[in-house]
A and B are shown apart, each in its own frame.
Chain A
């Protein structure tokens, strides 16, 4: 693996997105805008908004990064650039980590903007602190990136790539504990939630809202999310083949 080639890939991915204003808007404007809308949806019940807003900060980065990464990587696979790169003296890790670093950086900026809006403008109190909030949000972005890289291998068009969102992400959204506490769900759904990475991302955000100190549960949640992301990255690397 080459540090220079990895960083060159990171820079290239960021430059590509830098030329695409709509994607930048999706990354940086849509999440805080949705949070703002939600605040006024729950105008009569501010406590409900204060509970779910931080959890959404653990969900938005994952969904958006999943969507963008899967499509960007799919384009790379279908346009011939990946084939070309694979005939060059680079390792798969240069490519995969280049992407992962780029999207984690974007996730960091997204988390800073969203949490800034949530904590400042929307006046949501997160007793765990803004830094911990951002760490959880960046890990969620990392997870979305890794899952997007992996699943793009199973799509042959952008249309198919988008289909993974309702197929893979929406079920996680339903059982992650955002709408109903997991303990109140039917047992099979609880088991399903236990093996879904988004559950741990949302749970980590819950921890940040209920505890001012770094808890063991928070550490466990973050480790689980990171492990899921690393496994997805490794599987994603395995789907990149030099030879068909």
Chain B
């Protein structure tokens, strides 16, 4: 099996004393939607930041498509949506996307097509001229998501992408994520919502900086003899404690 991300014995200490991640080992297959699931403060965002190369780690602890996490070659291949808004509230939706498309290295002509495409993907074509500051929090979230969908990345890392979105749009986005995965893109999606976990192909359960489990939702339910991911999570956490 080919892997998009390999994590070996990763431990991260933040602020000199807080152990955010403790000896994580993971191999994430290509072309899947992989959910990083766990409560707030579990270490999901820290792990994500290590994978995209935003956090300094020891050499060889993480490779992405066989290159060291954060290496220059990966900047065209990995798109990242942070938990914060990470777009410019004082620009319109279109101005934001145009800027990030240019930063992604698209030519003027290709940028036009890309703009139309990402606006369509997040269903924002009709409000593309609106200032981001005037949008609802769910709409702002979609602008940020649109930036992460620019181009043809091999890995898309989304930190809590569906927070604040209405159920209809959430459904559309999960279909989009599945569609992207079926075309070979790997998606890492962090969420503290156990309900959404069932939509992923693979689950990485994290708690207190430790890896609790890594398997498909079906395997997880089978192994724990439970009916929901939430029950599985609670059972696994209970077993470990």
Contacts and interface: CB of A to CB of B under 8 A. Distances in A.
Contacts of B88: 12, 16, 81
Contacts of B75: 87-89
Contacts of A2: 105
Interface size class of A (residues with CB under 8 A): 20 to 34
Interface of B: 49, 52-56, 70, 72, 75-76, 78-88, 90-91, 95, 99-100, 102-105, 131, 147
A50 interface: no
A78 to B, nearest CB: 8
Contacts of B80: 84, 87
Given A12-B88, A12-B91, A89-B76, A244 B131 contact: no
B82 A80 contact: yes
A99 B79 CA distance: 24
A47 interface: no
Contacts of A89: 72, 75-76, 103-105
Contacts of A15: 91, 95
A81 B87 contact: yes
A84 B105 contact: no
Interface in A128-172: none
Contacts of A9: 99
14 contacts: A5-B102, A11-B99, A12-B91, A12-B95, A15-B95, A79-B84, A80-B85, A80-B86, A84-B147, A87-B54, A88-B103, A89-B104, A243-B53, A243-B70
A86 interface: yes
A242 interface: yes
A49 B53 CA distance: 56
Contacts of B49: 244
Given A80-B85, A242-B70, A243-B70, A86 B54 contact: yes
A3 B111 CA distance: 16
Contacts of B103: 5, 8, 85, 88-90, 94
B91 A83 contact: no
A8 B88 CA distance: 14
B54 A243 contact: yes
Contacts of B54: 83, 86-87, 242-244
Interface string A11-37: 110011001100000000000000000
Given A15-B95, A19-B131, A242-B70, A83 B82 contact: yes
A20 to B, nearest CB: 6
Given A8-B103, A90-B103, A242 B53 contact: yes
A181 interface: no
A8 B97 CA distance: 12
A29 B86 CA distance: 31
Contacts of B78: 87
A87 B76 contact: no
Contacts of A4: 102
A153 B229 CA distance: 42
A201 B49 CA distance: 43
A8 B95 contact: no
A9 B102 CA distance: 9
A8 to B, nearest CB: 4
B56 A244 contact: yes
Given A5-B102, A88-B75, A243 B56 contact: yes
A218 B160 CA distance: 56
B99 A12 contact: yes
A16 B99 CA distance: 12
Nearest first, the 9 A-B pairs at minimum CB distance are: A80-B84, A80-B86, A89-B75, A8-B102, A80-B82, A243-B56, A84-B86, A12-B99, A16-B90
A88 B102 CA distance: 10
